[in-house]
Amino acid sequence: MTMSLALIAPGAMGAAIARRLTDHGADVMTTLAGRSAGSIERARRAGMRDVDLAQLMHADLLLSVVPPAEAESLARQLAPLMAASEAPPIYCDLNAVSPATLARVERIVHASGAAFVDGGIIGPPPSDRAMPRIYVAGERASSLARLNDLGLDVRVLEGGIGSASALKMCFAGINKGMTALTTLMLIAAGRSGAGGALRAELEHSLPEVVDRIDNGIPDMLPKAWRWHPEMREIADFLDTTAPDGENMAGRHAFEGFAALYEQLGDSARNQEMKRLLDSLIEPSPAKA
């Protein structure tokens, strides 16, 4: 039987996931009313079928792959339709949201009578060269394992609702936090006349950090404005995860990273920093 999916996914990640699914014979529905020309073109190329919201209720699974700020409003918009449906799709939220937001989405979906699955995507959009891991958690999470037959890499976690989102936050915290830390110290070294020496020392003793300087920082700079609120989400996550009285370590660290990315994302404030970074980054030949 052809599997039927509803995918609310205006961006690059969602379209690339849809493309994998349709290439493997799945029926992927979406709703394009009110979407941008870019989203409509992406959906068309991915082989997605444009339907109205009510028809999405015929899907087996509904995947939400939207900007974090839209995760909750999407659930609210679909709730009456799920409530009116005899067999609403299993609702899987794959967005990078904090535990508090996730809990609100879960409550809305449960109240509508649909089953809820927590999810998180780690890695770049599917392509010839890359395949992200899609982590899912919750009682009905194993329903998503069927997507492994449709060209995706889905991994079911045992930790219950919240563990997939937490995994996504922890991975992003390490990866984007390490880039923030490297950027901070490289700028401080540059301001102290020790930038070139720091780079040479890292080449000797921590070569993976040099890779972060030459590839991670140039990749981050145009996204810093977007990473800034994500660092605040991680600060909230760490705060609520830690016992009372022990929560300042994570909150402080990620508020520091948020401040750095906020500044790097602001062209009126980032010029001295960008100049210093430019002088210490050696783009790899393939990307130069």
Binding site for its own copies (CB under 8 A): 99, 122-123, 133, 135, 155, 157-160, 162-164, 166-167, 169-171, 173-175, 177-178, 180-182, 184-186, 188-189, 191-194, 197-198, 201-202, 204-206, 208-209, 237-238, 241-243, 246, 248-257, 259-260, 263, 269, 272
Given the complex with its own copies, which of 8 and 161 has the nearer CB atom? 161
Given the complex with its own copies, which of 2 and 267 has the nearer CB atom? 267
Given the complex with its own copies, which of 63 and 189 has the nearer CB atom? 189
CB of 238 to its own copies, least distance (A): 6
Give the total residue count for the chain. Answer: 288
Given the complex with its own copies, which of 128 and 158 has the nearer CB atom? 158
Distance CA 66, CA 94 (A): 8
CB of 186 to its own copies, least distance (A): 8
Phi and psi angles of residue 130, each rounded to the nearest 5 degrees, phi first: -140, 150
- Tell me the sheet residues that pair with 30: 50
Distance CA 184, CA 231 (A): 15
Query: Which 8-state DSSP code applies to residue 36?
Result: -
Given the complex with its own copies, which of 171 and 225 has the nearer CB atom? 171
CB of 200 to its own copies, least distance (A): 8
Tokens at 28, concatenated: 């992927």
Phi and psi angles of residue 33, each rounded to the nearest 5 degrees, phi first: -55, 125
At 122 the three-state DSSP class reads strand
CB of 85 to its own copies, least distance (A): 31
Given the complex with its own copies, which of 54 and 194 has the nearer CB atom? 194
Tokens at 50, concatenated: 């444009």
CB of 173 to its own copies, least distance (A): 5
CB of 244 to its own copies, least distance (A): 12
Dihedral of alpha carbons 135, 233, 179, 275, sign: positive
| Whether the Cβ atoms of residue 135 and residue 119 lie closer than 8 Å to each other | yes
CB of 239 to its own copies, least distance (A): 10
Distance CA 75, CA 60 (A): 17
Q: How many CA atoms lie within 13 A of 107 on its CB side?
A: 8
Place of tokens 């994500």: 230
Given the complex with its own copies, which of 43 and 137 has the nearer CB atom? 137
